[in-house]
Amino acid sequence: ILETITTAAKVRGTGIAKRTHEYVAQKMKEGKAIIALCGEEFTGFCYIESWGNKQYVANSGLIVVEKFRLQGLAKRIKKEAFERSRALWPNAKLFGLTSGGAVMKINTELGYVPVPFSELTNDEAFWRGCEGCCNHDVLVRTGKRYCICTAMLYDPEKHKNDK
């Protein structure tokens, strides 16, 4: 999983928060990892993390193995992470940082909107996760106001009447 994430980020020339094997294993144990398989072959992944005393939840690390791309798998993985997050924390704001157009499109379809970074969690543990990203210097230089990534937020308060 981690190798696939790292390789994809290098190919795209984009940043991604680095996670350890232990971190991913813990997400699996907690039921906060979505792992897609084709038979026994790994095809994709995403994990869920809560921040700011569970007031904010991120679906992060979305990846699809190259040969399984362009088949709607990323959308299915992201939707599962979204639904699981909403079930576990129905009042939490869901958010993500992305520089990928495909993820922005999926997030928009799920009801996320682009927001300034100031509307995201102020939990320092979350922001420390950005330290492994190749674009972290931009975030630091701008005092966490801007980066290469787009901040996207789903606020359940704004979707109370959605079906």
Please, how many CA atoms are within 13 Å of residue 20, restricted to the half-sphere of its CB? Answer: 3
- CA dist 101 to 15, 47, 83, 150, Å? 14, 19, 21, 10
pLDDT of residue 148: 82
Predicted pLDDT of residue 146:
82
pLDDT at 36: 95
Return the pLDDT at 17. Answer: 63
Cα–Cα distance measured from residue 24 to residue 37, given in angstroms and rounded to the nearest whole number: 16
Global confidence as pTM? 0.84
Would you state the pLDDT for residue 154?
96
Q: Distance between CA 11 and CA 117 in Å, rounded?
A: 26
Give the H or E element holding residue 76.
helix 73-88
Identity at 150, one-letter amino acid code: T
Yes or no: say if 64 and 80 are a contact pair by the CB < 8 Å rule: no
Per-residue pLDDT at 88: 93
The arrangement of secondary structure in 2-159, i.e. its CATH architecture, is 3-Layer(aba) Sandwich (3.40)
d(CA 56, CA 106): 19
Contact status, residue 129 vs residue 17, Cβ threshold 8 Å = yes
φ/ψ of residue 103, rounded to 5? -70, -40
What are the 10-residue block averages of pLDDT along the chain, 163 residues in total? 70 64 88 94 92 86 90 96 95 90 93 91 81 83 86 91 71
pLDDT at 9: 62
pLDDT at residue number 61: 85
pLDDT of residue 15: 58
Neighbours of 137 (CB within 10 A): 10
Can you give the pLDDT at residue 13? 58
